[in-house]
């Protein structure tokens, strides 16, 4: 987009309409269970990450697809509210991807997902023309496994991003088809940053220890590996270097999308000039703010408010 600031992010990923139900103690067929909340929310790895970046003041353009339906209208409006550039989101013939999230009292969740328009989008590798990358210095691929077509040409998309002069990152997501390394492996040599959680690291590498898994990913060409550890924080791996960044002890209402918010927070800080350690600390805070509200992005605040929250946590920790 002409006039967009430099240092922005082009994000490719799924865009989902979420219906979140809480608290759900379990499913009992042929009965009625009363719950406290049924809420509509923005969802999808691409949408959540992009929303987070924009909420934190980073320019972001999201490439994806929604349906020609009311759910699509809703998610586009939510993204535009915080300034996400939605010009690269197409409207397909399938319905907008939809997830029903069942959340228990502890914040754990189970998803029922209809891929919808995610089946249509990215039929070929992205072409990084001047209009698509204007204002962007970084390309982020959010959940390659949630995008059926991207499974076959993720590598080519990342190669093209590098050729266009962009730095790159991938947040793998969960592979319900169990094609882990077959899909992600060819992408690894073209990544500056790889984001995985512990389970994803284990499935990708076949190794139980995430430090050993990260070493394998680095050997395959990844620049930096960031392992998301939930309430324990995260771990950074770069060459022989390991840095553990502790998380924040906060009450968890809903962990839906917290990993996406973490990634958005990390990229916003890192692209803004923060060190890796500072970016990781900021990302931990972004994830911690997310889990305290129902819905992936409901609890997010501005960059300055997030920094203020971090400082408040530090003051409270010192006073104990």
Residue 42 in domain: yes
Is residue 253 situated within a structural domain?
A: yes
Residue 2 forms part of a structural domain: no
Question: Which CATH number covers residue 25?
Answer: 3.40.1190.20
Least confident of 57-71, 134-148, 286-300: 286-300
Q: Does residue 3 lie within any of the structural domains? A: no
Q: Has residue 239 got a pLDDT over 90?
A: no
Strands of the 97-103 sheet, one edge to the other:
37-43, 16-22, 97-103, 109-114
45 is a domain residue = yes
Tell me the per-residue pLDDT of 168-186, one tens digit each, with 9 for 90 and over. Answer: 999 999 999 999 999 999 9
Q: For 245-264, how does the pLDDT look when each residue is reduced to its tens digit (9 = 90+)? A: 999 999 988 888 999 999 99
Please report the pLDDT score of residue 241 as a whole number: 78
Q: How confident is the model at residue 6 (pLDDT cuts 50, 70, 90)?
A: low
Contacts of 114 (CB under 8 A, 6+ apart): 95, 97, 98, 99
3-state SS assignment for residue 311 = helix
- Percent of the chain predicted with pLDDT > 70: 98
d(CA 116, CA 93): 9
Residue 212 falls inside a structural domain: yes
Domain assignment present for 1: no
Q: How far apart are CA 201 and CA 142, in angstroms?
A: 16
Nearest 5°: CA angle at 59, between 187 and 135? 75
* 98 confidence band (pLDDT: 50, 70, 90): very high
- 4 has pLDDT over 80: no
The number of distinct structural domains making up the chain is 1
Three-state DSSP string of 178-214 = CCHHHHHHHHHHHCCEEEEEHHHHHHHHCCCCHHHHH
- 79-100 average pLDDT score: 98
Q: Cβ(203)–Cβ(180) under 8 Å?
A: yes
Predicted pLDDT of residue 57: 97
198 is a domain residue: yes
Provide the domain limits for residue 31. 8-319
What is the band of 214 on the pLDDT scale with cuts at 50, 70, 90?
A: very high
């Amino acid at each position: 987009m002409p006039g967009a600031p430099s240092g922005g992010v082009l994000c490719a990923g799924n865009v989902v309409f979420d219906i979140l139900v809480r608290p759900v103690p379990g499913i009992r067929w042929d009965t009625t269970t009363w719950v406290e909340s049924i809420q509509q929310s923005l969802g999808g790895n691409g949408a959540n990450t992009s929303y987070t970046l924009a909420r934190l003041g980073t320019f972001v353009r999201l490439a994806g697809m929604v349906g020609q339906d009311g759910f699509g209208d809703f998610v586009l409006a939510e993204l535009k509210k915080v300034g996400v550039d939605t010009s690269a989101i197409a409207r397909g013939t399938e319905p907008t991807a939809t997830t029903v999230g069942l959340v228990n009292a502890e914040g754990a969740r189970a998803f029922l997902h209809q891929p919808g328009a995610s089946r249509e989008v990215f039929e070929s590798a992205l072409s990084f023309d001047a209009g698509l990358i204007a204002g962007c210095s970084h390309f982020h691929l959010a959940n390659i496994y949630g995008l059926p077509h991207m499974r076959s040409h993720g590598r080519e998309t990342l190669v093209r991003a590098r050729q266009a002069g962009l730095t790159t990152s991938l947040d793998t997501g969960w592979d319900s088809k169990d094609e882990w390394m077959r899909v992600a492996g060819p992408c690894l040599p073209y990544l500056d940053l790889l984001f995985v959680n512990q389970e994803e690291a284990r499935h990708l590498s076949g190794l139980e220890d995430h430090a050993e898994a990260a070493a394998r990913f680095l050997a395959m060409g990844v620049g930096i590996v960031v392992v998301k550890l939930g309430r324990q924080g995260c771990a950074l791996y770069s060459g022989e270097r390991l840095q553990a960044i502790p998380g924040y002890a906060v009450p968890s209402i809903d962990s839906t999308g917290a990993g996406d918010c973490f990634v958005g927070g990390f990229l916003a800080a890192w692209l803004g000039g923060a060190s890796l350690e500072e970016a990781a600390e900021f990302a931990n805070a972004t994830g911690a703010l997310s889990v305290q509200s129902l819905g992936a992005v409901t609890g997010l605040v501005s960059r300055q408010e997030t920094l203020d929250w971090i400082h408040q946590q530090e003051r409270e920790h010192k006073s104990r």
